[in-house]
A and B are shown apart, each in its own frame.
Chain A
Amino acid sequence: MRLSARIEQSAPIPLAADLDCESGELLALVGPSGSGKSTILRCLAGLHRPAGGHVRCGEETWFDATRGIDLPPQRRRVGFVFQHYALFPHLTALANVMLALTDLPADQRAARARDWLARANLEGFDHRRPGELSGGQQQRVALARALAREPRVLLLDEPFSAVDRVTRRKLLNQLIDLRRSLAIPIILVTHDLEEASLLADQMTVLHRGRTLQTATPEEMLARPASALVARLTDQTNLFVGKVTHQSRASDTTVIDWLGHSLVATHHADFAPGETVCWVIPEAGVVLVREHQSERENTLSAKVNERLAWRGHATVTASVGKQGEASLTFAIGASVAGRRCIVPGAIVLLQLQKSAIRLLPADPAIGAPAALDRVDSWYPRPLPGEQAAPRPLAAPQPGRSSE
């Protein structure tokens, strides 16, 4: 069974989104607040009617604007876990789940509901009302209620946002286990990229109601479709540079960045002289030793900040004569300690050629004044924007396109 949808509307929130999710697959919808993630989920469930498009699940058409089909939520058979769970506060946990089993004969409902609560590790909580349950327990009742109906699609609207970090980790593990046993499409709305990366087979990035890119989390990180996607997926190493040299034969594209010539794999779409955005995942920035300074794409940087957490250290180091840009990379906390990676230290960093991804220059990214309007999700200014007003080094003679 496959869920496919095209959602279109111009008001109240503009939407132009395409979604596809196969059985057993988890698709994460990520994007900043107000990008329409939850509205899309409501459209799928039949709780909001878009102006145009379609929603199809397997052979069934739930919504088709051109054919005038719009099944009510009761007939779509979706399991929906709301952001704040939306448990019925006057009913016990058992009664909450039983209400989703009205298709069953009355004498079978209690046993089936108990079974679902047991699967959610909630034995002994049958007769507690939602107000007597912890956030994590409420979330599990909501999940049991959503699954009790044996839905064709499971929709999760930021299900972990209302619980503390420790509970969230436990619930995430439970959901990872659970999804292995569910042969239905699962759509997860989240603004937490770590959550999306842990759970999702596919990720769709939304911005202002539009789907910008759908890919696996790894692909999204390594090959964002645009600078905006890179920014929305919290890629910290996103900069502006200028193409200086192209060579299909040697599989290289050379860019000038803050006076450094960086070699990337060949990106045929950009001409020499063209301004581009470029991005490199944190894993593509490697700490090297002094005797390795002649390696390709190696530059020195001054450590600004080291944040250590659970054996990992995230280091930010400034590059350029005036420290115009900051590169972020991750190393083991013990390595950071052994090699004295502390604020003020000078380090050598190699930017791996294969990890550098060139992207079309984005007017919104290139214009600093417009930046905050474009995205309030990650309002941090781009390092490349600081460098942008400064004239980039002119292409060197003899380094032209082949």
Chain B
Amino acid sequence: MDWQALALSLHLASATALLLLPLALWLARLLAWSSMRGRSVLEALILLPLVLPPTVLGYYLLLGFGSSSLLGQIYHVLSGRSLVFSFDGLLAASLIFNLPFAVQPMQRAFAAIPCEIREAAWVSGLSRWQTFLRIELPLAWPGVAAALALCFAHTLGEFGVVLMVGGSLPGETKTIAIAIYDQAQAFNDSAAANMSAFLLGLSFVAVVLVSRLGRGRTGR
């Protein structure tokens, strides 16, 4: 077992889920309730990482994060670091390719809350912020938790985009999925098998969790 790769993967998955939470909550509520113009375009953009081949997404992220890109240059000026082949770049890429996994379950959960429930909270005197914390979030919580579980599991297992944007720098960008690939390439079957079994177990737990939370939501 490559413990360093596992630790890096867990770090990346936790940071992704944590950073995506506020962004996905905002986007999910916006898409669930707003009738703004361009909504379908925004939805399509968010869903794009689901259908794009990881190498294609990775390639465009590599271009977008590279030292010759505007984003790469701004980041270099601000932090003195490069976005590609670094943990920061990996995290930024992870946020993008996990966006649909975070937004979709949350959007469905918020859309399932009848408009009248929120309006009842407003006429009862609750501010919009209080309504979000005391009414919307508890009702949408199963969807939010499912989204976080999905993001976490998906980040642990992502390979193509990670390889394209981060490469395989031990302690910096070498995640457990890359480590499995490396071990398999080196014919180190037992290490690859151990790590694969670990990822399999973790993914299974995440899927069970998502399914149970989904059932809880529909049974409410």
Interface positions of A (Cβ within 8 A of B): 42, 45-47, 72-74, 76-80, 82-84, 86-90, 99-100, 102-103, 131, 145, 149
Contact = CB atoms under 8 A, between A and B. Distances in A.
B110 to A, nearest CB: 14
Contact of A145 (B122, B124, B130): B124
A86 B125 contact: no
B116 A90 contact: no
Interface string B101-140: 0000000000000101101111111110010001100110
A82 B116 contact: yes
29 contacts: A45-B119, A46-B123, A47-B122, A72-B122, A73-B122, A74-B123, A74-B127, A77-B125, A78-B123, A82-B119, A86-B114, A86-B117, A86-B119, A88-B121, A88-B135, A89-B117, A90-B138, A90-B139, A99-B121, A99-B126, A99-B134, A100-B124, A102-B124, A102-B126, A103-B125, A131-B220, A145-B120, A149-B124, A149-B125
A196 B121 CA distance: 27
Contact of A99 (B114, B119, B124, B139): B124
Contact of A88 (B117, B123, B130): B117
Contacts of B138: 90
Nearest to A77: B125
Given A90-B138, A99-B134, A80 B120 contact: yes
Given A74-B127, A99-B134, A86 B120 contact: yes
B135 to A, nearest CB: 6
A102 B117 contact: no
Contacts of B125: 74, 77, 100, 102-103, 149
Nearest to A89: B220
A77 B125 CA distance: 8
Contacts of B126: 74, 99, 102
A159 to B, nearest CB: 13
Contacts of A102: 124-126, 130
Nearest to B134: A99
B120 A82 contact: yes
Contacts of B135: 88
B100 to A, nearest CB: 27
Contacts of A47: 119, 122-123
Contacts of A103: 125
Contacts of A131: 220
A103 B117 CA distance: 20
B120 A88 contact: yes
Classify the secondary structure of B's interface with A: helix
Contact of A86 (B116, B127, B220): B116
Interface of B: 114, 116-117, 119-127, 130, 134-135, 138-139, 220
Classify the secondary structure of A's interface with B: loop
Q: Which of A80, A87, A99, A100 has the most CB of B within 10 A?
A: A99
Q: Which of B119, B124, B138 has the most CB of A within 10 A?
A: B124
B123 A73 contact: yes
A104 to B, nearest CB: 11
A86 to B, nearest CB: 4
Nearest to A74: B125
A78 to B, nearest CB: 6
Contacts of B139: 88-90
Nearest to B117: A86
A55 B122 CA distance: 18
Contacts of A83: 116
Nearest to A47: B119
A312 B133 CA distance: 55
A100 B120 CA distance: 9
A80 B124 CA distance: 8
Q: Which of A79, A80, A86, A131 has the most CB of B within 10 A?
A: A86
A92 to B, nearest CB: 13
Nearest to A100: B124
B165 to A, nearest CB: 41
Q: Which of B114, B120, B134, B135 has the most CB of A within 10 A?
A: B120
Contacts of B127: 74
A87 B139 CA distance: 12
A109 B138 CA distance: 21
A80 B121 contact: no
B120 A84 contact: no
A262 to B, nearest CB: 49
Contacts of A88: 117, 120-121, 135, 139
B146 to A, nearest CB: 17
Contacts of A79: 123
Nearest to A102: B125
A84 B124 contact: no
B123 A80 contact: yes
Given A74-B122, A84-B114, A149-B124, 6 more contacts: A45-B119, A74-B127, A77-B125, A80-B119, A83-B116, A99-B126
A100 B135 CA distance: 13
A84 B119 CA distance: 12
Nearest to A82: B116
